[in-house]
Amino acid sequence: MPQENVQAILRFKGRVQGVGFRFTTCQVAAGYAITGTVRNCSDGSVECIAEGTKREIRAFLADLLSQMDRYVRDHSCQWAPPSDRFTSFRVIY
């Protein structure tokens, strides 16, 4: 049975701006069947919206955290229905 797509709203806190976090997020995302965006937030955190199956998103998140763990103090994930508005994964400026 195929897995349904979902949306994950991920928030990363720590020293995540100015360290290549968004670039690395896009590079890691390219290896997974996900779409979405990543952007810096005014409070110093980074927000990532990812859409795909829960399995792909969880694998993407684990991979990203393994590469950027030294910069991330905390992260959160909220699940939501997919918006289907993304066709790729990219940085929003």
For residue 69, give the 3-state DSSP assignment. coil
Query: Of these residues, 11, 39, 40, 90, which one is catalytic?
Result: 40
Walk along the chain (93 residues) and give the pLDDT tens digit of each residue.
568 999 999 999 999 999 999 999 999 999 999 999 999 999 999 999 999 999 999 999 999 999 999 999 999 999 999 999 999 999 999
Query: Of these residues, 5, 11, 15, 22, which one is catalytic?
Result: 22
What integer pLDDT is reported at residue 41 of this predicted model?
Answer: 98
Q: What is the CA radius of gyration of the chain?
A: 12
Q: Which domains, and CATH codes, for the chain?
A: 5-91 (3.30.70.100)
Q: Cα–chain-centroid distance for residue 40?
A: 12
**40 belongs to the catalytic site:** yes
What integer pLDDT is reported at residue 35 of this predicted model?
Answer: 98
Q: Indicate the pTM of the whole model.
A: 0.95
Closest among 77, 66, 62 to 13, alpha carbons compared: 77
For residues 55 and 21, what is the distance between their CA atoms, to the nearest angstrom? Answer: 22
